[in-house]
Chains A and B, each alone.
Chain A
């Protein structure tokens, strides 16, 4: 009787183990590690990336950006990475954005000529995947258009003419993690900018707001940009 109970338990245990083994790999999601950089929550904003002002109108910027999941300080609003066309403080952009609690979106944002800003949120693309985010000016006359992986997701009225292109990671307090770690960079690949009637290698000028945030390139600054937070491994 005892042996029968034991074997029944063994069968049950085997079933549970095999079920967990079967379900485990299927439900596990590759999540890039978050890292609390342990810095002060100063509420200031920081950028890490590159920009280019080629001369004349910029008709677009596109880049394959990895959807990275950074640490976002609980009282802060968001961390993002994006492509942008701009002129002074006016801008139009598309990219990924994460709020505290791993709440993620694809977002578009633009300013009207009165400097008011307007944003839309869409579903997020998979973590760890490289997604092409493209901001275009004038592709549809009078509009900025926003593309993800080549498909248009949004258009909004263009009330300024961009002369500048940018690709950045952006945080809103020092205690946010800039996307990327020193062992796992946030990457912008095949980054291009449209001007003088054609697409060109971005060939930007690097810029970082503070010492812990780094950038580099693996193709002599042609198309590829890496950024990361020096306080984090990944």
Chain B
């Protein structure tokens, strides 16, 4: 009898705690961060970007995303290609989308602007990544930093 009361109490308390946690947004089922070679999570976070392991499969082929990136930058080399749940909380409206990420290396060693006038030669890009919707193939956004 005591055992039954104990088990029932644990279940009730557990349910209550779960309710409180969920209510406060403390328990959110999020996929793990997706590590990529091109940029660290900290680098991406500076632009409001988080990449997570995909929770579903793409309907657009990887090759289609690569072709879309190469069409935009015919002289670029592919550094890596990955499927990720892209979240960007700086872009308006915010992005939360399953995307193909295509990381590129351009032959030119500088792609950034030189501003402000009169200009300054700046560091070469550390990464250049273009994202394409994994369900439609549409261009979503590109990010770069150096």
Q: Which residues of A contact B (CB under 8 A)?
A: 45, 47, 49, 51, 75-78, 80, 82, 84, 86, 88-89, 91, 93, 97, 99-101, 103, 105, 109, 112, 115-123, 151-157, 164, 166, 168, 170, 172, 207, 209
Tell me if B113 and A109 are in contact (CB < 8 A): yes
Number of interface residues of B (CB under 8 A): 35
Residue of A nearest to B120 (CB): A89
Residue of A nearest to B121 (CB): A45
Tell me if B117 and A120 are in contact (CB < 8 A): no
Contacts of A84 in B (CB 8 A): 115-116
- The interface centre, meaning the residue of A51, A97, A119, A157 with most chain B CB atoms within 10 A of its CB, is A119
Q: In the complex, what's the smallest C-beta–C-beta distance from B92 to chain A, in angstroms?
A: 4
B90, B120, B121: the one within 8 Å of A155 (CB): B90
| Given A119-B143, A153-B92, 15 further pairs, Cβ under 8 A | A47-B115, A51-B116, A77-B108, A93-B115, A97-B113, A118-B145, A120-B47, A120-B91, A121-B142, A122-B91, A154-B90, A154-B92, A156-B47, A207-B118, A209-B119
Complex-state Cα separation, A100 to B75, whole angstroms: 10
Contacts of B119 in A (CB 8 A): 45, 47, 170, 209
Contacts of B48 in A (CB 8 A): 155-156
Q: Mark B115-138, 1 if CB is under 8 A from A, else 0.
A: 111111111000000100000000
B47, B110, B116, B142: the one within 8 Å of A89 (CB): B116
Q: Tell me the dominant secondary structure on chain A's binding face.
A: strand
Contacts of A166 in B (CB 8 A): 115-117
Number of A-B contacts (CB under 8 A): 109
Known contacts A77-B106, A99-B73, A121-B130: A91-B115 contact under CB 8 Å = yes
Contacts of A80 in B (CB 8 A): 113
22 interchain pairs, CB-CB under 8 A: A45-B114, A77-B108, A82-B115, A88-B116, A99-B72, A100-B75, A112-B46, A117-B123, A119-B111, A119-B145, A121-B130, A121-B141, A121-B144, A123-B139, A153-B91, A155-B90, A156-B90, A166-B115, A168-B117, A170-B119, A209-B117, A209-B118
Contacts of B122 in A (CB 8 A): 115, 117
Tell me if B142 and A105 are in contact (CB < 8 A): yes
**Is the C-beta of B35 less than 8 angstroms from some C-beta in chain A?**
no
Tell me if B145 and A47 are in contact (CB < 8 A): no
Residue of A nearest to B47 (CB): A118
Complex-state Cα separation, A101 to B74, whole angstroms: 9
Known contacts A116-B145, A119-B145, A154-B90: A91-B111 contact under CB 8 Å = no
